[in-house]
Structure 1
Amino acid sequence: MEFVEVVKRRRTTNGPFRPDPVSPEHQRLLVELAGMAPSHFNSQPWRFVLCDDPEIIAKVADLSGESMTRLLEEGTFWQRYRPYFRFSEQEMEERRDGIYFDQLPAALKPFSKYIFSGTGQAIMNKFGVPQTLGKDNHKLVAGSPLLLAVLLDKTEYKPGQLSGFYSVFGMGAAMQNIWLATVELGMGLQFVSTPMEIPENWAKMQALFEVPDDLELMAVYRLGYVPETTKRPTIDWSSRQRKRLSQYVFRNTCATPEADPAGS
């Protein structure tokens, strides 16, 4: 596959993976490519845990599903990510960012615009939205054949200092190498994010992966091979829109937006 095409086809996998285990060859290739990323003075501050242990994956799934349900029930999720939610094609076309809730049960669609009000939160809870999304989240993680924990070496990763920025920058480059490689390998990848939003659950995640004191657990991802077709969850969203060049690129100074190509 041509490199430009790989970049354009990179996506986050919101759906399930095939049950097939990720081959040892592909696991090694992913982390080898991660290790080719640039880092400050070639410090290579990243560390990775490849986890295919069903018991650990099951426990991570429990924490992820429980975290999602709790965040939704308490309203934390809606409040924190409100700027990124879109509920119409028109809004998505105008903004060209965020996520579009294009898959909702018929009973909930009339209430979507009230989701950020106290009444909307009560309606969501009444219809069992937190439980539905929590169960979906649990199922996705539990059905993943491989988890990837990403850590940083604390001798390099020092928040508030330049070394902290350089470490995070390098980690991002390493993860992008992995993400692009999954496209070529017929795989998918998704951030297991909800446990890190609840401090006690993130501490449990660190314990599961036996993270030592000299390393910082930064993120956990689920990986697997993508099926050719899959049924979408009851509540789902899409995020394929991208901003036009004029919305995020400038020419010479920030005073002059870049012109969009003709016909875009």
Structure 2
Amino acid sequence: MDLIEGMLARRTTNGPFRPDPVSREHQHLLMRVAQAAPSHFNSQPWRFVLIENPATIQEIARISGESMTELIDAGIFFERYRRYFRFTEREMDERRDGIHIDHLPGPLKPFTKQVFSDAGIKLMRQLGVPRKLGEDNRRLVAGSPLLLAVLLDRTEYVPEQLSGFYSVFGMGAAMENIWNAVGALNMGIQFISTPMEIPRQWQAIQTLLRVPDDLALMAVYRLGYLPDGEKRPTIDWSSRHRKRLEQFVSRDTCDVPERDA
């Protein structure tokens, strides 16, 4: 039951970590739980890079912050992901998916529903929000004691073949094991996604990590121990809602929703 309760309590850490280094024991434990994940024919296609070098972390932080600023300033981020935004508890409770934008800078609060419209993005530019968000993002990554790069073996990961799906499926299982394990260690984890949105920035991280041609860089995460009090970023959200059973489960055929007991 402890395992199940831990899985149900799983969360993503949007705020800062403690500066304490992640112990080598805990790092290796996370690698072992990843290794325990299922993979097609036990192929274990995943590869990991544990990043503690301060200069490397600072450079990835710079790239991540710049990427965030560019995405927000150009409106690309909100245009790409607008359909996931919820602005009221009522909307969140009805849909039970996406993210509830419940934490905004004071000047933007009166314009909550318009904040991601063209006019809202123009206002954010005038208020310097893209630069602020970029700096928040840079600081979060820079203050993380451990980054984790996740890669796939290209002999297994061939996107146009079924092995490509099998490899991504196995990588997802390995990362989910890590995600569930960090909670038991009083740690947090967050996906560093913004550089992936801009090809040249993602390439810069691959160059920095000296990724060889036979490996594909798939994702980078930040990890660390959780502080006692959590400080929220400038723009933040909650995403603890989950769909009701009948919204994602069917019985026998796809047209018979499963009802909650």
TM-score by length of 1: 0.97
- Cα deviation digits, residues 55-87 of structure 1 (max 9, x gap): 000000000000000000000000000011111
2:108–2:115: 8 Å Cα contact kept in structure 1? Answer: no
CA contact (8 A) 2:111 2:120 kept: yes
Counterpart Cα distance in 2 of 1:117 and 1:175? 34
CA distance in 1 between partners of 2:59 and 2:156 (Å): 30
The alignment of Structure 1 onto Structure 2 pairs a total of residues equal to 261
2:23 matched residue in structure 1: 23
Structure 1: any 5+ residue segments left out of the alignment? none
Quote the Cα distance in structure 2 between the aligned partners of 1:150 and 1:18. 23
Q: 1:66 is matched with which residue?
A: 66
The offset of 1:233, in angstroms, is 2.2
Partner of 2:188: 188
Say if 2:215 is the partner of 1:201. no
| DSSP-derived class of the 2:229 partner | coil
Q: Is 1:177 matched with 2:187?
A: no
Match of 2:159 in 1: 159
Which residue does the alignment assign to 1:77? 77
User: In the aligned structure 1, how far is the partner of 2:234 from the partner of 2:52?
Assistant: 28
In the aligned structure 1, how far is the partner of 2:9 from the partner of 2:228? 15
Report whether the alignment pairs 1:6 with 2:2.
Answer: no
What is the SS of the residue equivalent to 2:140?
A: helix
Give the Cα–Cα distance (whole angstroms) in 2 for the partners of residues 105 and 69 of structure 1.
16
Once residues 142 and 91 of structure 1 are traced to their aligned partners in structure 2, the CA distance between those partners, rounded to angstroms, is 35
Question: Equivalent residue of 2:223, what SS?
Answer: strand
CA–CA separation in structure 1 for the residues paired with 2:108 and 2:114: 10
C-alpha distance in structure 1 between counterparts of 2:143 and 2:117, whole Å = 34
Alpha-carbon deviations, 1:152-183, whole Å to 9, x = none?
A: 00000000210000000000000011111101
- Structure 2 CA distance for aligned equivalents of residues 102 and 74 of structure 1: 23
Cα offset for 1:259? Answer: 0.3
Q: What is the CA distance between 1:234 and its match in structure 2?
A: 2.5
Tell me whether 110-119 or 83-92 shows the greater mean CA deviation: 110-119
The secondary structure found in structure 1 opposite 2:58 is helix
Q: Where does residue 147 of structure 2 map in the other structure?
A: 147
Output the CA distance in 2 between the equivalents of 1:181 and 1:78.
32
Q: Determine what percentage of the aligned residue pairs are the same residue.
A: 66
Q: Provide the C-alpha distance between the structure 1 equivalents of 2:59 and 2:251, rounded to a whole number of angstroms.
A: 49
Matching residue's letter, 1:90: R
Cα RMSD after superposing both structures: 1.0
Aligned partner letter, 2:5: E
Runs of 4+ aligned residues of structure 1 deviating over 4 Å after TM superposition are: none
| Alpha-carbon separation, structure 2, partners of 1:158 and 1:220 | 20
Matched residues in 2 for 1:128 and 1:167: separation? 41
Q: Distance in 1 between matches of 2:177 and 2:119?
A: 44
2:258 aligned counterpart, secondary structure: coil
List gaps (5 residues or longer) in structure 2. none
CA distance in 1, matches of 2:234, 2:117: 22
What are the residue-to-residue correspondences of 1:96-175 with 2, within 5 Å?
96-175=96-175
The SS at the match of 2:15 is coil
Distance in 2, matches of 1:77 and 1:63, equals: 16
SS of 1:108 mapped into structure 2? helix
CA deviation after TM superposition for structure 1 residue 184, in Å: 0.7
Report the equivalent of 1:246: 246
